[in-house]
Every structure is written in C-alpha cells, then in structure tokens.
Amino acid sequence: MNNRLLLAAVVSLTTVVLHAQPCAPAGDEISYGANDTWIGYVYNSTNFTNYVGYVTEGSSGNPNFYQTFGGSNTTYNTNGCSINTNYFTVRYKLQKTFTNATYDITVGGDDGYRLSLDGGATWVIDNWRDQSYTLTTHTILLNGTYNMVLEYYENQGDNIISFDIQSSCAGSENTTTYGTADSWIGYVYDGTNFNYYRGAITQSLNFYQNFGGDNTTFFTTGCSVQTETFSVRYRLRKNFNYGSYTIVVGADDGYRLSLDGGSTWVVDQWWDHGYNETIYITNLSGNVDMVLDYYENGGGNVVSFNIQNNYILPVTLLSFKGTAQNNLFNFNWVITGNSNPNYFQLQQSNDGIRFTDAATIAASNGVPFNGNISFQHQSAQTEAGYYRLKIIDQQGVITYSQVIQLKQNNSNKLQVFPTVLRQQAIQLKTQQLYQNATAQLYNAQGILVWQQKLNNVLPNRQIALPIQQKKLASGTYVLSIYSSNHPVQSTKIVIPAW
C-alpha cells in the first residue's frame, strides 16, 4: 500500500470513529422548572424514548409561551443533542404556586398535546392525536402549589406547542339572592354543572330564552360565555294567592324546577336531550322560593318557563248571622272549606235598600279559612239596622249574603225624653249605673255647644238636663252621653223655633 492510500484509510477510519461518538444530553428528565420557567425534556421519537436534552420556556413572572421549533423538517438544538423536527416529543415540567382564583388555561398544538396539574397522574386537557394547530381552554379554580406537566408530540409536518394561563373573568353578584316582583335573576356559569360563575341576567316571570343561538357568545352583567357548555340557575321569590297553578317548563338540554329553594325538585329532566316540556300542577300559597336550573351540552340551547293560575270557583257562603249589644254588632259567617276569598266587606243600611261599606275584612293573603269567620263592628246605629256581607274572591267574582236586620238590646240604654225640646228640661233615665258620665250637645256642624258633667247616673233615677237655659238656636242637635263603663249613647234632639 502506498503512502497516499494509507493516509486515505486513516482519515476514513477517524471519520467513522468521530461519527460514532454518542450524544451526551444534559438534564435529569425529572426536575420541575420554577419561577415560571418550564423545563422541557426532548426525545427523538413520538413516544418519549431516546432522550436528547432539555430546553426552557417561559420567563420570570410569565409562564406563557408559543414555540414553533424553527419550522418543519429542520434541526432543533437542545442542551445536549439536536433533533430533526419531523418526529419528536417534549415533556415540559413546571412547579407553580397559584393564589386562590379561577383561571383560564389555553393549550394549543400541532400535533398532539395534553396537560396535567398533578404530575401526570390525570389530564385536565387531553388532545393527544394527529391534528393541525388546535386550541383547548380549560377553566379551573386553583389555590396552592401544582406540579404541571405539558406533553407534546409531532408526527411530521408543521410543529407548534403553546401555553397560556390567565385569571378568569367572574361575576360579582351574590348568587343566593332571589329575584322579586315577578323578575327572575339568572346566574350564568361556564361549564354544565355550575362550574365557574360569569355573571347575571334577568327574565320576566314567563319567558322563553334561546341565548342568541348555538355556539355563540352570550353576555351577562360580568363576563360572557360560549353557548355550547354552560349552565344557568334562575331564582325568584314570589307571593302566590292560594290556588291551583299549572307550571310548564321546557329546555334543550337538562332542566329541573324546585319550589323550596332547591331542596327538592318537582320537575327533574337533568340529562342531555332535545327540547321538551314538562307540565306540573300544584296548589301554591304565600311566598315560594322557586329555583329553575338549566344546562346546555352542545347543539341547540333553549329554556322556557310559564305559570298560570287555574280558575277558582266563587266563594260558597253557607250562613251569615249577627247580634247587637250596646252599639257593638257581632257577626259570624260560614263559607265552604275550599273557598278562596280575597276579602270581605260588611255593608250597612238604614232602609234595607241602599247599602254603604261599613268595614273591610282581609282574607289573610288568600290562605283558606277553616270555614268559620267572626267579626265585631262598633256603630252609631241606635235602633234597627240592616246588614249584608259582600265577598270578593281571588278572581274578582262578587257574592252577596242575604240581608239581616239587627235591633239594639236596650237593657243598658239611657232613655232620653223628650227629643223635641220646647221649654221643659231633657230627662235621662237608665236601668244600670253610668259611671263618671258627661253630657255633650253638638250642633248640625258637629260643634260642641253645651256640656255638663253628670258624675254617676244612678239606675232607676231620673235626672234633668237644663239645656233650654242655653237659649240655643232652633235646629237639629246630637246629645251624647259619655261614661267610663258604657259605650257612647247618642240621640237626636230637635229645638223648634222659640
């Protein structure tokens, strides 16, 4: 062999030896990055074999990054060896402490990617397949320190991996507050199970809501949601007059209705389905805490509510009676137990034909009576009087009782005579003691024109009131006798022209 051939052989052998030297990758494949800087362990395969070295992403105070690896089918250098960007994987690791808040995490990749917050035990984002660049967002409440693992693989073509985390937008309302005045408050959440509160909306008592359409942006008082996977909890506190009500609830997808603040569900259609309606008929009375839950899990999104008061028959009156005793009139009436009165009016008449309202008796916010009602009325009526009962039910239907005539029991009544006064004095006589009595005389304008203290008026004894000494003008007057142990006694007195 000549010298030239020997030299060529040596050079060739040296080149083979140099090319055969193994790559020496840096990094331990285990440690987590800190201070918002990821450590990415790079592998020259699509299944995390053949480790070649590590890289870093993110920076102090900002863990977000967007990496293209220099392009497709090119060389990408690590702290160790390089790879060709056609087939490779990267496992990024970062230990990070979060303050208590809700966060939106968005990961993108071409091809597969997945994200774990517990060191790789579970995946909160899992999009592990060949694909063009795709973004996935996950909203989650974080509080404390997390071992985050972000894995990525590239299987030829374009190569991109990105990570972004931001504090999530959230509503500020107290989500336990009920709407009033027939106006629902709807608390809107991102996620199908009331996951992340975004803000509030309002709806009238009966409503049909489609949220602007499928897979669009819906705005609340706080933040917006995408109308694909979200939920709403409507609240309304309403006072119902006693009666029977028909409730119709519908939705696409799940819905449920509670009449006791969410403790139990009288309507429960809590699963994925197209739009359907449920009819529920019940008796309601007084304040009711209504909760209507709704969720949407892709496709159409509609929720509706309607409530109507079923017709109630007029009140059925069984009896109406009364007694009179010393200007106190005691009334009692009986209605059927299934009656639903709104209120009663006691009406009074001097002739049994023309009636005026004497008193209004409430019907306890529509709560049904046990059928027996009593009422005491004080009146200036001194002799016979006519009474009837006017009943107004929940629908405004009016029912009248029969007319009854009541006469005063005059056993305690003062006798006043004469009632046409000329020159003689007015005489008083009673069968019972009137204590601390005072006599007062009023003219037709209601002005006090004379009074006299009588002290005690003894039973079966006649006393005289010297009213004629006052030289009063002719006309009609009212004489009232006040005492500490009897109601006021009033009598008309006529003074003719002198």
d(CA 293, CA 246): 18
3-state SS assignment for residue 199: strand
3-state secondary structure of 89: strand
Q: What is the pLDDT of residue 17?
A: 40
Same domain as 329, residue 274: no
In tens, the pLDDT along 356-393 reads 898 898 876 444 455 788 888 876 555 557 889 998 88
CB 240 within 8 A of CB 251: no
Residues 403 and 332 in one domain: yes
CA atoms of 307 and 241, how far apart (whole Å): 13
Residues 27, 124: one domain? yes
Q: Are residues 347 and 241 in the same domain?
A: no
* Domains: count for the chain: 4
With respect to residue 326, please indicate whether it lies within any of the assigned structural domains.
yes
Q: Is residue 338 part of a domain?
A: yes
* Per-residue model confidence as pLDDT tens digits over 75-99: 999 999 999 999 999 999 999 999 9
- pTM of the full predicted structure? 0.47
The type of residue at 350 is N
What is the pLDDT at residue 165? 94
pLDDT in tens, 53-81: 999 999 999 999 999 999 999 999 999 99
Domain range for residue 57? Answer: 23-167
* pLDDT of 442 over the 90 cut: no
Check which CATH number belongs to the domain holding 461 and give it: 2.60.40.1930
Question: What pLDDT does residue 373 have?
Answer: 86
Q: Are 57 and 101 in contact (CB under 8 A)?
A: no
Are residue 293 and residue 191 in the same domain, yes or no?
A: yes
- Considering only CA atoms, which of 150, 126, 151 is closest in space to residue 136? 126
> How far apart are alpha carbons 467 and 447 in whole angstroms?
16
CB 341 within 8 A of CB 242: no
Q: Are residues 359 and 415 in the same domain?
A: no
**Burial annotation 382-400 (CB, 10 A radius, 16+ → b, else e):** eeebbbbbbbbbbeeeebe
Do 156 and 41 share a structural domain? yes
- Interval 250-254 mean pLDDT: 96
What phi, psi does 204 have (nearest 5°)? -70, 170
Q: How confident is the model at residue 205 (pLDDT cuts 50, 70, 90)?
A: very high
Q: Is residue 468 part of a domain?
A: yes
pLDDT tens digits, one per residue of 4-52: 444 444 444 444 444 444 688 999 999 999 999 999 999 999 999 999 9
Identify whether residues 355 and 471 lie together within a single domain. no
Query: Do 380 and 445 belong together in one domain?
Result: no
Q: Which of 309, 341, 372 is the last residue before a domain boundary?
A: 309
**What CATH number is associated with residue 364?**
2.60.40.2060
Residue matched to tokens 């004894």? 461
Domain with 301 in it: what CATH number?
Answer: 2.60.120.1560
Residue 461 belongs to a domain: yes
- Best mean pLDDT range from 31-45, 397-411, 473-487: 31-45
